[in-house]
Amino acid sequence: MRRVILLGSTGSIGTQALDVIRAHPDRFRVVGLSAGHNAAMMAAQAAEFGVEHTGLGASESCQLVRDVDADLVLNGITGSVGLGPTLAALEAGRTLALANKESLIVGGALVKRAVAPGQLVPVDSEHSAIAQVLRSGTAGEVARLVVTASGGPFRGWSRAELDGVTPDQALAHPTWRMGRVVTTNSATLVNKGLEVIEAHLLFDVDYDHIEVVVHPQSVVHSMVEFIDGSTIAQASPPDMRLPISLGLGWPDRVPGVGIPFDWSQASSWTFEPLDETVFPAVALARQVGTAGSTYPAVFNAANEQAVEAFHAGRLGFLGIVETIRRVVDAHQPPGELTLESLAEAEQWARRAADQLIGSGS
């Protein structure tokens, strides 16, 4: 029986994790829950699963992780606010199933220094796929990671067509049902840029050996090319409960989570290059990931401010990545990477983004 603390229990990842746990009460027991603000929903979850320990917000999530005895923490919080709970889980010696990619991307070297071998398990579908495929070879046999992208709702659009995109259009993802920020990030492909940084940090593969390819069907979740020329892919119908279950049960699989393919039915899977002229977020993410230090934190913070402004009607769709680019270009990193310098860089980036948005420039 694996004892689980679930952070972000009322969000998309959290509710699907509870679906998995609900179906497998013999394997998992929830011993702690936290949420950002939906106290009523969390209370209902706690009552259903018999959970005594709950918390609201990042600070109470950190305290929950430190104080409650657990085997595994699933961090499903959205945004860089998840960094504190991520570090708390690692420092407490818990296995960390990480769906909160921002904490790894923002924390960078701080998270890498805190993590022990085998302690961090990725939950993003792309990185879960890579982790599964890497069982097929040694680190020295890896030639390239191939991260797949659905292309979002605007695949094939020109920049001129993107100019008038509305928030409702940006939230109409063709495959996945996610929260507002992640869904918007998928439309701009900022999310894929963040995933490139995440792949570099998780698997210690150089940026030059991480490629993004557009795969609209979203059934091949990522691939690994090996030095002998073979490429191995992980494929499954698009359902986040599968990578979530792997995060909960790693290294063991949880039976009956997803519905397998019906191989008696004809189907086609297609792959195409990413148009980085129309969607420059991935190239910008490579730039900030390579620069390191506080640049990824600035990239992420500026994006969060820009996404909020877009949904409030204060910024156009193309302005999201343009705002990020201008904030990144203006950033001066500190001499040393610490929690304090990260916090200062994020605050500066949010102010800088807000000033750009407010000025209409």
pLDDT > 90 in the chain, percent? 93
What pLDDT, on a 0 to 100 scale, did the predictor assign at position 361?
62
What pLDDT, on a 0 to 100 scale, did the predictor assign at position 299?
97
pLDDT tens digits for range 301-345: 999 999 999 999 999 999 999 999 999 999 999 988 999 999 999
Alpha-carbon distance of 344 to 63, in angstroms, equals 23
| pLDDT score of 245 more than 80 | yes
| pLDDT score of 190 more than 80 | yes
Cis peptide, bond prior to residue 251, ω within 30 of zero: yes
Alpha-carbon distance of 236 to 242, in angstroms, equals 8
pLDDT tens digits for range 206-239: 999 999 999 999 999 999 999 999 999 999 999 9
| pLDDT score of 123 more than 70 | yes
Q: Which two tokens stand for residue 75?
A: 């961090």
What is the CATH number that goes with domain 2-123? 3.40.50.720
End-to-end Cα, the chain, rounded Å: 55
Q: 28: which strand partners?
A: 2
pLDDT tens digits for range 8-39: 999 999 999 999 999 999 999 999 999 998 99
What pLDDT, on a 0 to 100 scale, did the predictor assign at position 179?
77
pLDDT tens digits for range 36-81: 989 999 999 999 999 999 999 999 999 999 999 999 999 999 888 9
Coil, helix or strand for 50? coil
Residue 235 is inside which H or E element, if any?
strand 231-235
| Contact (Cβ atoms closer than 8 angstroms) between residue 94 and residue 31 | no
Coil, helix or strand for 56? strand
Alpha-carbon distance of 253 to 230, in angstroms, equals 25
| Contact (Cβ atoms closer than 8 angstroms) between residue 282 and residue 196 | yes
What is the DSSP code string of 110-161?
Answer: HHHHHPPTT-EEE-SHHHHHHHHHGGGS-GGGEEEEEEEE--GGGTT--HHH
What is the CATH number that goes with domain 293-361? 1.10.1740.10
Closest CA to 187 of 160, 215, 153: 153
pLDDT band at residue 177 under the 50/70/90 scheme: low
| Contact (Cβ atoms closer than 8 angstroms) between residue 173 and residue 153 | yes
| pLDDT score of 176 more than 70 | no
| Contact (Cβ atoms closer than 8 angstroms) between residue 248 and residue 28 | yes
pLDDT > 70 in the chain, percent? 99
Domain boundaries defined on the chain: 2-123, 129-237+261-290, 293-361
What pLDDT, on a 0 to 100 scale, did the predictor assign at position 310?
97
Alpha-carbon distance of 66 to 85, in angstroms, equals 9
